[in-house]
């Protein structure tokens, strides 16, 4: 297949691009490379796939020096003209949209970034898919859409109309927008609600990265909700495997769907929503203990109240993923944390 992946300088996008390239797919990566976090890490991810920083120019395709089936373009999803030309020239079979302004807490202080990237950027992707007969659009949603929902495990069959952050609202809006295009234009779309992704090459604003850095530097870590948080931490390789399986299986519409009892995760249109989570929630204090064990150091802990926009617990129901794709994430948290820390020490050239 020929696949466009947006967000390939990002955590999930870089891993997905490498996996698809090695499987033999033809991949075009796209990213704006903004400065939400350290751009050097983003360029390092690209370099791992053979894209050299020195060769990158705005709105120009760059060939990988490692993989003949990989090209990259630095462009803003708000640039409709360049996006339209890219789709027209490349004739993609499928699109995986992972580009977005990430982060729950950042959305409290910078709401405009989420509207520009997650709403306007996404409508431009939808329009490009519509006019270029894309066979399948897969896009990143988020477990944050569950908001005030407390019934566990969190299921795609449940209503999600009570988000508690603009980030979550923007992801829910992506699902609604995608359904509209599936219904109106017969565009197959699949939304993936990711649950707390972690692993090597992860984001510096996420807990595992922050905790590892602070513990190594003998600095205290902020432990929110006084440690009474539960997260369905999902290892990056499990996320990527789920995405790959979904890309190759576009939805066809649910013939059993009824407008009298509308089921939220599917439709008569070619539209589907899946959770991708480990289906095995971990207490935050146990997560910290696994980091401490690997590092051989005890963290200094600042016990803090829960932050606005955060939910106290996540736990993914992945029954549909298992049923439809024959796949269930299964990497143990200890293994995933060990792999991250070994990468972190190597990347930052740290010995202790």
CB 56 within 8 A of CB 62: yes
The residues that are catalytic are 167
CA distance 109 to 92: 36
* Spacing of C-alpha 19 from chain mean position: 15
Distance CA(35)–CA(189), nearest Å, equals: 29
SS3 154: strand
* Cα 271 to Cα 183: distance, rounded to the nearest angstrom: 8
| Nearest Cα to Cα of residue 144 among 171, 175, 108 | 171
**What are the CA-CA distances from residue 43 to residues 5, 63, 113, 255, 345 (Å)?**
16, 15, 21, 45, 18
C-beta of residue 18 within 8 angstroms of C-beta of residue 36? no
> 249 Cβ partners below 8 Å, 6+ apart?
324, 325
| Residue among 344, 250, 247 nearest 294 (CA) | 344
- Nearest-angstrom CA–CA distance, 9 and 63: 15
Radius of gyration of the chain (CA): 20
Q: How many beta carbons lie within 10 A of that of residue 143, not counting itself?
A: 25
Contact 316, 195 (CB under 8 A): yes
* Separation between Cα atoms, residue 183 and residue 206, nearest integer Å: 36
């Amino acid at each position: 297949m020929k696949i466009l992946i947006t967000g390939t300088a990002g955590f999930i996008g870089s891993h997905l691009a490498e996996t698809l390239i090695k499987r033999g797919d033809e991949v075009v990566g796209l990213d704006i490379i903004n400065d939400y976090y350290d751009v050097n890490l983003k360029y390092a991810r690209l370099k791992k796939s053979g894209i050299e920083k020195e060769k990158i120019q705005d709105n120009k395709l760059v060939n990988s020096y490692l993989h003949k089936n990989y090209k990259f373009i630095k462009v803003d999803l708000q640039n409709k003209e360049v996006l339209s030309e890219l789709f027209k020239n490349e004739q993609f079979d499928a699109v995986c949209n992972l580009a977005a302004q990430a982060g729950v807490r950042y959305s409290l202080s910078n709401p405009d970034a989420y509207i520009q990237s997650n709403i306007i950027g996404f409508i431009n992707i939808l329009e490009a898919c519509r006019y270029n007969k894309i066979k399948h659009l897969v896009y990143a949603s988020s477990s944050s859409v569950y908001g005030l929902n407390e019934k566990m495990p969190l299921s795609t069959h449940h209503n999600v109309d009570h988000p508690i952050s603009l980030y979550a609202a923007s992801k829910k809006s992506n699902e609604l927008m995608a359904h509209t295009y599936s219904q109106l234009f017969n565009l197959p779309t699949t939304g993936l609600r990711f649950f707390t992704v972690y692993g090597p090459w992860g984001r510096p604003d996420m807990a595992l990265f922050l905790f590892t850095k602070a513990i190594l530097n003998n600095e205290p870590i902020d432990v929110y909700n006084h440690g009474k948080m539960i997260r369905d931490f999902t290892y990056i390789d499990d996320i990527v495997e789920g995405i790959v399986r979904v890309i190759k299986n576009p939805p066809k519409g649910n013939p059993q769907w009824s407008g009298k009892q509308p089921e939220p995760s599917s439709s008569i249109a070619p539209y589907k929503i899946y959770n991708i989570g480990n289906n095995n929630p971990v207490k935050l204090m146990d997560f910290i203990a696994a980091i401490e064990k690997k590092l051989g150091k005890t963290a200094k802990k600042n016990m803090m109240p829960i932050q606005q926009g955060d939910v106290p617990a996540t736990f993914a129901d992945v029954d549909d993923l298992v049923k439809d794709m024959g796949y269930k994430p299964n990497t143990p948290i200890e293994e995933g944390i060990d792999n991250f820390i070994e990468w972190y020490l190597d990347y930052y050239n740290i010995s202790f």
